[in-house]
Structure 1
Amino acid sequence: MSLAPERLDRFARHIVLPELGGAGQVALSQAHVILIGCGGIGSPALQYLAGAGVGQLTLIDSDEVDLTNLQRQTIFTEGDVGRAKAAAAADWVGRFDGAITVRAMSARLGSANADQLLAGANLVLDGCDNFATRLAVSDACVQLGIPLTSAALGRFQGQVANFAGHLEGQSCYRCFVGDAFDAEDCDTCAADGVLGAMAGWVGTFAAMHAVRVLVQGQAALGDPQWGKLHLLDGFTPELRTMRIVKDPECRACSAA
């Protein structure tokens, strides 16, 4: 597959990068990414996935835009308040790049429907706000053989990691948090607060991590860093990395 002349112009700054090049850009144009959550993490992540030329995007979010979101969810405006986030986010993609195929799903993802909703993706980027959904997404990704970019955010801290629990020897998100968090109660931005710019850092970092995976085998952008959890501290500031090893007793990936 080759890129149309106007696409070559649009992505010229990517194509001249030896670590990405034309082959990497074509790989991005053929990729299908499913984004879980169009909020604080999903909003900037979506902007840079679309900016990178990812060819197909599915946006899953059951929430509506609220005035309090605008401090950090940069794809929305005051005119979007009250609208379904997935639909408003899809409209943003359409205005930004009409060549991208985008689908909005105003649905709540859980263990009962995760396999169905995530099937067919090349990568899932999860920026949701509760452990129950995160674990349902992770378990489905292991079952379906889909790489997962997981990102979390709170106050001045963030976490980003790529997981491939379906691959031999690689950990999954459940190896990281275990079985104790299959519940919907967790800390929230409403209760604890979050710096808006911190959401941008975590979301764009997650988009960069997703691109690493999507161009694997087609570009020399770097290794996908499976199982490396990057801890972003915006208060200090600093960035630290720790490795999440595969749990031999993990009920999601131990047999993978």
Structure 2
Amino acid sequence: MICSGEFGRLHFFNAGNLVSRGEFIHQRRVMKCWVLIYVLSGRLDISSGGICRSVASGEWLFLKPGEEHFGTAPSEGELSYLWAHFSPETPFFEAESGAAYTLPEYGRASSQRISVIFRQLVDCSRRNMYTTRMVECALEMLLTELTQEHLDSCGTGRASNPLIEDINEWIRLNCHRQITINDVAEEFHYNPEYLSSLYSRETGSTLTRSIVMARVDISKRMLSDRNMSIKEAAFSCGFNDEKYYMRVFRKFEGMTPAQYRSAIGVK
């Protein structure tokens, strides 16, 4: 487990997207910085620190500084992966709790969000319009998202109260309708003000924000359908104003719906 005890600055060096049509084998080398690899398609066979792994599509791998890594077999067919080189201002350490970043050295993404954020990082690193600090912030967002995915998969997220879990599930199933806090409170037989306070205390978020985020998540799945327009996606998941939807989407995802579609390869 890779951990950081505090949110120290991450020093970004470079990033890119390797694409090979076949017979690619990673060179043997030792880096002075951390390397993060995320496979988009194909399979990368690689050894690091004496451990051999076959990293498939949708999986990530951290390579530690000072440890030799090298390819163990040539790739078959097309291989594409994103990579980033960086060093933390506050050294990472081996632990499992009490950390700002808590990252398995090897794992599988549970959503397309990792891919989208990583692509944004690579894109930002290539454009002169972004400052170094802005690119570092994109890297911080990527590691934070990886941490959250790990915590969610371990069941260590903030919402451990069964009532809160039931509310979140009800919101996911009904957010395509014009639901309000009063609707949620009525469904679970609570006073709206009390339920709002309880929800905020348990989750660190508000009911209104959770409803909006659930709608945005649903819209992301709809945007993967090239036959559905952005307006149709917005209205189908509970937004009744396309411009408001686009503002909210950009606020939560850091990009417009059109940019998101481009990032996941939908044209």
Q: TM-score range by the shorter chain?
A: under 0.3
Larger radius of gyration: 2
Kindly indicate which of the two structures has a greater share of residues assigned to strand.
Answer: 2
Larger relative contact order (C-alpha < 8 A, sep ≥ 6)?
1
Instruction: State the TM-score, normalizing by the size of structure 1.
Output: 0.26
